Amino acid sequence: MSSPDISGGGFGRVYQTTTRSGALVAVKVLFENRWVAQRALELSVREAWTWSTLSHPNIVPFLGVANYGLICTGALPQLCLISPWMDGGNIREYVCEHPSVDRFRLLLDMAKGLQYLHTRFASPIIHGDIKGSNVLIDTRGRSVVARITDFGLAHLKEGLGEDGQATTSTTSLGNLRWMAFERVLPANYGIHSNRASLSLESDYFELMRTFYEVLTGKIPFHGMSEMAVFGALQLGQNPPRQVDGNTHIDDGMWDLMQKAWCSDRDKRVHILREVLEYLEGVVYFNALSGTLDLNEHTSKRLRDVGGL
C-alpha cells in the first residue's frame, strides 16, 4: 500500500495505492477488526456484486476485488473493493475549491446516475446513502464529471417483502442529515421496518439534500448537533434556504427541493423527472451564456422570457 488511509467512516476506510502498471486506484476496506471479519466479508461480497453489475458515465467504475492481506503488510486477510482513484475528491470539497465550476452540470450528472440505478434493471437499485461524500469528481477526461459511489447500503427494490418487512436481516443505515423523514422514524409513517423505509422516493429526498449541500457548500443543518438535527426531523423540518448568506439556490431549485422533501413519500414519485428537465434546461442555458458571453442582466431577461 503506497499511502495511508484517505477517507473513511463507520463502515470502513478507503486507501490510495498504485497498481503495477502505475494506475492510481482506491481500495475500500470494511471493518479492520478480526471480530467482525465474517460480517465484513458478507457486506463486501454484496457490495461487490451490486457494483459489478453497473456501468454508466456517472457511476464510479468497479475494477474488481483483492485480498487486503496480500497488498498491505500486516493487514488482516479480507476482501477489498478496487476502483479508479477519483482525483477531484468528493463533490462538496470540489465545488468549494473550484467556486467557478458549473455546479448545475455536476448536479445533472448525479441525477442521471441515480436515474440509471432506478431504471437500468427490471428491479430498481435503491442506493440508500446518497450524500456529498458518496459523489466523487473525475477530472481524468476532457471535462469534469460527477460519479456516484458507495453501494454498501444499496438494495434491490424486490428485496422488500410485500408486508413491508425486510427479506434479509440487514438494517437500513445512513446519515440523519440527508435521510428522508420516513427512514429516520419509520413507525411514524406507518412503515414496519427500517429496510421497508428504503424506496426510490427516499433516494429522491437524499438526492435533493445533496443538491442543497453542493449549492450552499455546507452540509444540511450546518451548525446543528446530531441531537438537534434529530429533533428537527421529528418535527418534519428542513434546512433553511440560505446558509451564512451564501447560496446558489434559485426559486426553481428551491421549489423542487420542497417537493422532494415532502413528508408524504407518495408525492415524490415524479420528482426525478422534474429535476432532470429543470437541470437540462439550466445547463443548456449556462452553456449558451458562456458561448455568447451574455451578461447577468441579459441572462435574467432570457430566464423571464423562458418562463412564458
pLDDT tens sequence across 62-96 = 999 888 766 776 666 778 889 999 999 999 999 99
Does residue 53 sit in helix, strand or coil?
A: coil
Give me the mean pLDDT over the 230-249 stretch: 87
**Are residues 155 and 45 both part of a single domain?**
no
Whether 283 and 104 have beta carbons less than 8 Å apart is answered as yes
C-alpha cell at 108: 445533472
Higher per-residue pLDDT: 308 or 20: 20
Q: Do 124 and 248 share a structural domain? A: yes
Q: Are residues 26 and 141 in the same domain?
A: no
Residue 49 has pLDDT above 70, yes or no: yes
Same domain, 158 and 63: no
**Three-class DSSP category at 281:** helix
Find out whether 189 and 181 touch, Cβ atoms under 8 Å: yes
What are the grid coordinates assigned to 301, written together?
Answer: 431577461
Question: How many CB atoms sit inside 10 A of residue 141's CB?
Answer: 8
Where a domain ends, among 54, 84, 114? 84
Q: How far is CA 108 from CA 54, 187, 220, 279, in A?
A: 19, 33, 20, 6
> What's the CA gap between 1 and 117, in Å, rounded?
32
Please indicate, yes or no, whether residues 95 and 79 belong to a single structural domain of this protein: no
Q: For residue 138, indicate whether it is catalytic.
A: no
- Specify the pLDDT at position 270: 94
Total domains in the fold of the chain: 2
Residue from 76, 2, 70, 78 nearest 47 by CA: 78
Same domain as 73, residue 189: no
163 and 283 within one domain: yes
- Angle, helices 251-260 vs 271-292, to 10°: value is 160
φ and ψ of 246, to 5 deg = -120, 125
- DSSP sequence for 177-241: TTS-HHHHSGGGGT--STGGG--HHHHHHHHHHHHHHHHHSS-TTTT--HHHHHHHHHTT----S
Higher-pLDDT residue of 282 and 299 is 282
Per-residue pLDDT tens digits for 241-259:
876 666 789 999 999 999 9
Nearest-angstrom CA–CA distance, 18 and 121: 33
- The single residue of 109, 129, 138, 150 carrying the catalytic annotation is 129
Question: 291: which 3 cell numbers?
Answer: 458561448
Q: Final residue of a domain: which of 66, 84, 102?
A: 84
Per-residue confidence (pLDDT) for residue 172, from 0 to 100 = 42
Where does the chain have alpha helices with state H? Answer: 37-52, 68-71, 91-97, 103-119, 181-184, 200-216, 226-234, 251-260, 271-292, 296-306
Residue 4 pLDDT > 60:
no
Q: Evaluate whether residue 304 is within a structural domain.
A: no
Co-location of 177 and 57 in the same domain: no
CATH of the domain at 207: 1.10.510.10
The CATH number covering residue 54 comes to 3.30.200.20
Distance of alpha carbon 51 from alpha carbon 49, whole angstroms:
6
Q: Are residues 40 and 159 in the same domain?
A: no
Beta bridge partners of 26: 16, 83
Range of the domain at 157: 91-292
pLDDT at 235 over 60: yes
pTM of the model: 0.84
